Structure 1
Amino acid sequence: MASQASGTSVSNSSIGSFASKLSWNFNTFFAIEYPDKHLQLETGPKRRKTKGHRAYVCLHCQKPPWSNRVPGNAIHHAGTVHQALMRVSEPEPGPPSSPLASGISFGDIDRYIVSRPSQAALRNCFNKQAYIEAVVGLLTRRRLPFSAVEYSELRDLALACNPAVRDLLITDRKQAMGYINSNYSLYSSRLAESLQRTQSKIHISSDLWTSPHRKGVPAICAQWVDDDFKLQKALLGLPECRYSHSGATQATLIAGTLRGFNISAPNLGYYVGDNAASNDTCLEELAKVLKAESGVNYPHKRRRIRCIGHIINLALQAFLLARSKEALRAALEATADEPGSTMLEEFSQHLHELGSAQIVEQSHTTAQQEQQLEEREEQPARRSIKVRGKRAATTHQQAGNNDERFAGWQGIPALAKLHALAVYIRSSALHNDQGYDAVGKQLGIDNITRWSSWYKIITITVQKKAQIIQFTADHDSDLEGNALTSRDWQMLERTLEFLQPFHEATLEAEGDMASISQSLELFGLLLGHCEKWKAHYLQLINRDDRIVHSIDMCWFILDKYYTMTEDVPVYAAALLLDPSKRKNYIEECWPEEWHEDALAAARSLWEEEYNHDVEVQLSEQSLAAPVLLKRKKDTMLSKMRLELRNKTMAEARGKDDFDSFISEAPIALAEGVTPLQWWCSDDVRTAYPRLSRMAIDILSIPAESAEPERSFSGARRTARWDRLRLLIDSIEKIECIGNWLREGHIKPSAEGGIGLPCDPEVIEGDI
């Protein structure tokens, strides 16, 4: 609606001779505007000399606004729509009457009386802390640049809400960083205090990342069960790793972060990380630091959990690419034990042809050399595409030069052709537009380090089969004979079906409530899936040596790391403590020769760490037995009570035992209830006071090191290319505050928390 200020005051004479006959003031109802005033004439760029047609805009109609070019229509509008206001404006002879007597309520009058509060009143109603929390949330959780506080638009937005607070707004980026620094100090100490009251051990996960401004940054994350028996997680730090990325250097940074949050060796749980050799070195060095600081032996080998998502990634790199170093080594180890096998010679020859002999020789090199090799292997495939649209076709034509069974996707015509199609579409903007118009989706491109890129390409291709067939037919000459045949389509559909369980397993294991109790089950399911498909393609009617080899590569990886879980008893213990599995799962799903070792390993964990010095707590607190009054001499009744108490304690001890629990029949958990949530319930903890401690410790271990990866994804948006001057210390605090807001460790004042109460620190240098 046009405001009165923007319009033109209207005199009664300006609207005609009949204006003088009006009993009310036209100006209190309408303003004149000239909508055509600034329009150019059709004959040229000159402006019109007159103002053009006038429009009468009603000052009292807001939603929707009303205007008309005919004054008579305006008068009619006022008389019909605003009749009550017209009666108020008409003076009547005689004594003044009340508004109610004239047919209008006090509420109607209040709508037209604009209140103008004083400057002091406006400033008093300004919630400065809520404003600071909103700005800090935008800078940390939403990752706006610090220059945003200097945006005139952001300032105008705040002043539009309250024009009296100009001097209270944050308009300096160093001031904004000062608020982040001061509140980081407050909440890091509060988080450290809460970590002293946990109901489980504190499990950590870490990974190393190279930032866009070429800084080595490890993300250190923690997960635990708090004093309310709820699963919590937090980013503890993103320190800078300078000069060396070795495991020893990372261990020093992790130890410093643990020290900053007062996490001691007795409270430290399990470490979750990928399969890099530097992580083994890191954990070994961390154990030495903890031993020197607290005198406690940290069993680093038994506390090393391997990220199942990383294992799945390696396995499917082997399936699709046959270039994973880990896969090649596993294949050599597997074939070396088979006398008379010709596969070892063929495979070794192929390793030599690919230049992979160096990979085998690196098995005895230092951790630093291994890391450099891994970095070379994990470069994206698209970086090697130098001739647009032609590399894939050339690769497919040259695949026959080597043994196609061991050539990865290059030796599988369907995947090689699909890669050629993806490269062709991405080779120019013209091809990309043609592909999108024809298919209706972006096909994407494969990446040598992410099997999921292949999964997504194949999924879209199968979904858009008809459109892609038409597109390849229209551009067959450009694709150089890489059109997909019916056999290729069958291969893609089967490959998609093979990859589907791996995709679902990855999503399940990276969930917020995922637990290590799922790891062995997922291993078993995926290995069984590989064996089923291998048997299918070994049949004479379905024989395909390429697919069999790819499945073998995938199986070798899974089996290698599946076997390594035997060295970490917590894997079997987690499965046995799942009330929906227990020992019944092992007896039904595992070979009999595996049973005793798994049960013995889990039992040793129970006996060594959880079945000591607990009976006092059990008898005095958990059982809540009646306290007998002291008497001068024993009575028959007191003896009967003592016998009853001893019997109750014996029954409780028998029930609160590892072997007793796992021997019971599995139970079905309610939908949406995890094994950890089941153990955290009051009834279960009362029934199993000792065993619940073990279960809560173990079932709170994450299955993947997904949190560091999420932290890197966020930090990548914080340290984007136009913010490369940000210090790592600032990035660490930004990401930590954002993470703590997201995870609920910082509760805003609007939700009943203390919010961000600290005044800003003074910052002298860069941020």
Structure 2
Amino acid sequence: MASSQTTAASTPSISDQPITGTSLDFSLFFKATYPDEDTQNTTDGSRKRKSRGMVMYRCLHCPADKPWANRKRDNAWHHARRCHADIISSLDRMLIGGSSDVLDDEREATRPRIDAFFPSRYSDVSLRRMFDRDRYLDAIISLITRRRLAFSAINWDEMQEIMLAANPAIEDLLVTNRSALMRLIDATYELYSSQLMATLEASISKVHILSDLWTSPHRHGILAISARWVDQDYQPQRALLAMPECRYSHSGETQASLIIDTLAKYGIASKVGYHVGDNATSNDTCLSYLSRRLRDDYGLTFDPSKRRIRCVAHIINLSLQAFLLASSKEALIAALDATDDTSNDQLFAQFYDTLHDAGQTTRTDEAHQRRRASRRGNRILENFTGWQHIAPLRKVHNIAVWIRKSTLHSAIWDDEIKLRLGIDNATRWNSWYRLELQDDILLASEWEFIERTHRFLQPFASATLLVEGARSTLSQSLSIMDVLLRQYEKYKELYSSKEKHDPHMVHCIDMGWFVLNKYYTLSDQTPVYAAALLLDPSKRRKYIERNWQESWHAPAIAAAQQIWLDEYNAAPIPESLRVPLDVSSSSGRQHNELDELLSDIAVTGPILDDADDFETFIDAPPTRITGSPLQWWLHRDQRKAYPRLSRMAIDILSIPPESSDVESHFSSARRTLSWDRESMTCENLAKVECVGNWMREGIIVPKSHGGRGVISSVAVEFSVETEAEDFLD
């Protein structure tokens, strides 16, 4: 396109007039075109953009017979000031006495005054003024980061058509460069990292760290680091802090170094509370190294054994694997040892493989056939190798495989049953058997066994869902294990009786109980478990006295009370929570003799200095509550009645009982790294996942909902490209 310039002799000079960024909105004066754009017809007839070439900015206000265009933005700005001063002046006059955040109806009322200056391009200018680009960018970045569309989606013909169907005048205002989009995500990540740091620093609770290691589809070790805390408005919060690549080594020391770097980035080393992770011993190494670094770098005390929280969902899973797979306690011990240094995504597969190998050995080891299996002396079955030896379970599994292997079988199943058939996961079961279906017809007695097994396992499934809920707290960990241990013992007694004797079930129960009890016993090393129970207003001391052995009571309560004495008993009380020791019966008047007489007949006791005390609270009768224990303590009434104890309760009850947060981050990252997007770098993956998580958790609030939204700076979008598009999808 040739560039021509037309200037009216009567055009007033505005060099001495201030030009505001709002009045001289570039998109209202110029449209970006690409005269050198190279396109290619695809096989389906659509036109796919290959190269946009150099940009040309065409003036929207010059007449069609005398167009003006130029490749330089600065020249375009100069042209607008020199040739369209009347339009700029009108915009400035309209905005005098107003602001950028006037009401929508006021903006609507003023728009016709501007459009009067655009008789030749009325439609385009009006439509471009109506385009809310900030809202558009909020939505696009949310689609990429939260909904996990590919970066190439911004170039899809269908995506362009959707936008242009809503507003046909904005083609050049759409983001069509993937690197520019990544720069906007990067700038948004940097902005909200700082905002998240301020939020974490202002938290009224300790910040609890969750971490886990994952092998990504593009074969990189990724460490997810997440946080839980209670913010300054007394609202529980959670967020993904970082997803750094764990290169060259997956050792506990390497993981601890990445965690320390994350704590330093957010300035929260002094606020670190407890660490939640799986049962791998690499977490012991990680926390020991973390303890040394916190001591050496910050002068902080962090007891690695007392600050470690084991994911209760992992414990339940391992216990049920033992129930279904284990042939002996020796096999269980070997399996648990084999998973000690295994990352989470391999832990269950390793556990299964070890149990299966041990089961194969059992078949030929006569000594294993003769040994005793359980704490109550029940004899193990000969050649028992887990669920494969239990005919009903084996047959159900094989039937499921038979149906799933054939689309014809699946179609018949769908027509008859009307439910989608699930199948066991390879990390929990061995799914690859090819047996003839006639060998797997279930007898009536076998259906009864399956029904019994289903009934027995139901509480375990419910318990797993319960601890994964948003309202779950650490006070549930021991109580859930108490219930599940009781479930094991109840059914062992049932199936050991003469009337219901079932040696298979007894053996399975012994194996599951062994694993669950192992981790239950390890909770003694972390006093905060018992403290969480005691600080639950619906449990307190009475729960321990009713459900635990008497010899456990005193040590558990003493260890929990020591936390109170060491960290909270002498803590200063916030001024807003101080309760006056002498409150008049009527505010604003002096205490008199009538008040003395009224106090003689009062039924309420005085405010006691020792009411805010750990032992006083746990000795009180349990209280039925409607919400979670944490929500009960976050209420202002409780914080005012127990100003110090509430701080302890909020710190402890804000600890999650399991690590599903990091599991969900890995699930999200797996969907982001679909098979056609595995060239994405780990650094970009981390930023995409963090921004998506922050949008999901409400840390990033769109402008349309009253927040700041994402970065929408033109300077960021049109900066020099630093990221090759090949490393985005």
Mapping 1:166-565, distance limit 5 Å: 166-264=171-269, 266-322=270-326, 331-332=329-330, 351=331, 374=347, 377=350, 403-404=381-382, 406-450=384-428, 478-565=436-523
> Residues 582 and 627 from structure 1, CA distance in 2 versus in 1: closer, same or farther, beyond 3 angstroms?
closer
> Residues 219 and 649 from structure 1, CA distance in 2 versus in 1: closer, same or farther, beyond 3 angstroms?
farther
Alignment check: 8 A CA contact 2:568 2:647 kept: yes
Match of 1:43 in 2: none
Deviates more, 1:171-180 or 1:650-659: 650-659
Alignment check: 8 A CA contact 2:148 2:672 kept: yes
Match of 1:585 in 2: 543
Structure showing greater Rg: 1
Q: Select 1:133's aligned residue among 127, 131, 138.
A: 138
| Superposition deviation, residue 577 in structure 1 | 0.6
DSSP 3-state at the match of 2:210: strand
Match of 2:625 in 1: 669
Match of 2:664 in 1: 710
TM-score (norm 1): 0.69
Match of 1:680 in 2: 634
Match of 1:41 in 2: none
- Corresponding position: 1:162 with 2:167: yes
Work out the CA distance in 1 between the residues paired with 2:165 and 2:181: 21
- Corresponding position: 1:732 with 2:690: no
DSSP 3-state at the match of 2:263: helix
Work out the CA distance in 1 between the residues paired with 2:505 and 2:278: 27
Q: Deviations over 1:491-532 (max 9, x none)?
A: 100000011000000000000110001111101111111100
DSSP 3-state at the match of 1:272: strand
Work out the CA distance in 1 between the residues paired with 2:333 and 2:126: 79
DSSP 3-state at the match of 2:445: helix
| Amino acid in structure 2 at the alignment position of 1:707 | D
Alignment check: 8 A CA contact 2:315 2:519 kept: yes
> Residues 729 and 165 from structure 1, CA distance in 2 versus in 1: closer, same or farther, beyond 3 angstroms?
same
Alignment check: 8 A CA contact 1:321 1:448 kept: no
Alignment check: 8 A CA contact 2:338 2:351 kept: no
Q: Deviations over 1:618-675 (max 9, x none)?
A: 78961245799xxxxxxx99xx99xx9xxx99944311000001111111113xx111
Work out the CA distance in 2 between the residues paired with 1:713 and 1:380: 24
| Amino acid in structure 1 at the alignment position of 2:488 | C
Work out the CA distance in 1 between the residues paired with 2:670 and 2:343: 25
Q: Deviations over 1:548-568 (max 9, x none)?
A: 111011111111111111111
DSSP 3-state at the match of 2:239: strand
Alignment check: 8 A CA contact 1:205 1:220 kept: yes
Work out the CA distance in 2 between the residues paired with 1:692 and 1:678: 10
Alignment check: 8 A CA contact 2:280 2:341 kept: no
Q: Deviations over 1:262-309 (max 9, x none)?
A: 111x31011111101111111111111111210112111101000000
Q: Deviations over 1:169-217 (max 9, x none)?
A: 0111111111100000000110001101111100011111111111111
> Residues 413 and 575 from structure 1, CA distance in 2 versus in 1: closer, same or farther, beyond 3 angstroms?
same
Alignment check: 8 A CA contact 1:246 1:278 kept: yes
Alignment check: 8 A CA contact 2:352 2:428 kept: no
| Superposition deviation, residue 594 in structure 1 | 1.3
| Amino acid in structure 2 at the alignment position of 1:609 | E
Work out the CA distance in 1 between the residues paired with 2:167 and 2:610: 68
Work out the CA distance in 1 between the residues paired with 2:472 and 2:428: 22
- Unaligned 5+ runs, structure 1: 1-114, 333-350, 385-393, 455-475, 629-635
Q: What percent identity do the matched residue pairs reach?
A: 46
Alignment check: 8 A CA contact 1:318 1:550 kept: yes
Work out the CA distance in 1 between the residues paired with 2:524 and 2:711: 50
| Amino acid in structure 2 at the alignment position of 1:134 | A
DSSP 3-state at the match of 2:275: strand
> Residues 399 and 493 from structure 1, CA distance in 2 versus in 1: closer, same or farther, beyond 3 angstroms?
farther
DSSP 3-state at the match of 2:563: helix
Alignment check: 8 A CA contact 2:212 2:344 kept: no
DSSP 3-state at the match of 2:609: helix
> Residues 370 and 169 from structure 1, CA distance in 2 versus in 1: closer, same or farther, beyond 3 angstroms?
closer
DSSP 3-state at the match of 1:207: strand
Q: Select 1:654's aligned residue among 605, 610, 634.
A: 610
DSSP 3-state at the match of 1:723: coil
Alignment check: 8 A CA contact 2:214 2:345 kept: no
- Unaligned 5+ runs, structure 2: 1-118, 370-380, 585-590
| Superposition deviation, residue 379 in structure 1 | 7.0
> Residues 405 and 559 from structure 1, CA distance in 2 versus in 1: closer, same or farther, beyond 3 angstroms?
farther
Match of 2:650 in 1: 696
TM-score (norm 2): 0.73
Work out the CA distance in 2 between the residues paired with 1:357 and 1:653: 52
| Amino acid in structure 2 at the alignment position of 1:267 | K
| Superposition deviation, residue 132 in structure 1 | 0.4
Alignment check: 8 A CA contact 1:514 1:702 kept: yes
Aligned pairs, how many?
Answer: 571
> Residues 570 and 649 from structure 1, CA distance in 2 versus in 1: closer, same or farther, beyond 3 angstroms?
farther
> Residues 750 and 362 from structure 1, CA distance in 2 versus in 1: closer, same or farther, beyond 3 angstroms?
closer
> Residues 478 and 731 from structure 1, CA distance in 2 versus in 1: closer, same or farther, beyond 3 angstroms?
same
| Superposition deviation, residue 448 in structure 1 | 4.7
| Amino acid in structure 2 at the alignment position of 1:504 | S
| Amino acid in structure 1 at the alignment position of 2:405 | S
Match of 1:32 in 2: none
| Superposition deviation, residue 478 in structure 1 | 3.7
Mapping 1:55-70, distance limit 5 Å: none
| Superposition deviation, residue 432 in structure 1 | 3.1
> Residues 746 and 209 from structure 1, CA distance in 2 versus in 1: closer, same or farther, beyond 3 angstroms?
same
Work out the CA distance in 2 between the residues paired with 1:172 and 1:259: 34
Work out the CA distance in 1 between the residues paired with 2:349 and 2:471: 34
Match of 1:74 in 2: none
Work out the CA distance in 1 between the residues paired with 2:234 and 2:334: 50
| Superposition deviation, residue 580 in structure 1 | 0.9
DSSP 3-state at the match of 1:540: coil
Q: Select 1:595's aligned residue among 547, 553, 572.
A: 553
Alignment check: 8 A CA contact 1:399 1:410 kept: no
| Amino acid in structure 2 at the alignment position of 1:225 | V
| Superposition deviation, residue 370 in structure 1 | 9.2
- Corresponding position: 1:751 with 2:729: no
> Residues 696 and 375 from structure 1, CA distance in 2 versus in 1: closer, same or farther, beyond 3 angstroms?
closer
> Residues 304 and 650 from structure 1, CA distance in 2 versus in 1: closer, same or farther, beyond 3 angstroms?
farther
| Superposition deviation, residue 439 in structure 1 | 3.4
DSSP 3-state at the match of 1:725: coil
Alignment check: 8 A CA contact 1:405 1:546 kept: no
Match of 1:87 in 2: none
Alignment check: 8 A CA contact 2:291 2:303 kept: yes
> Residues 419 and 247 from structure 1, CA distance in 2 versus in 1: closer, same or farther, beyond 3 angstroms?
same
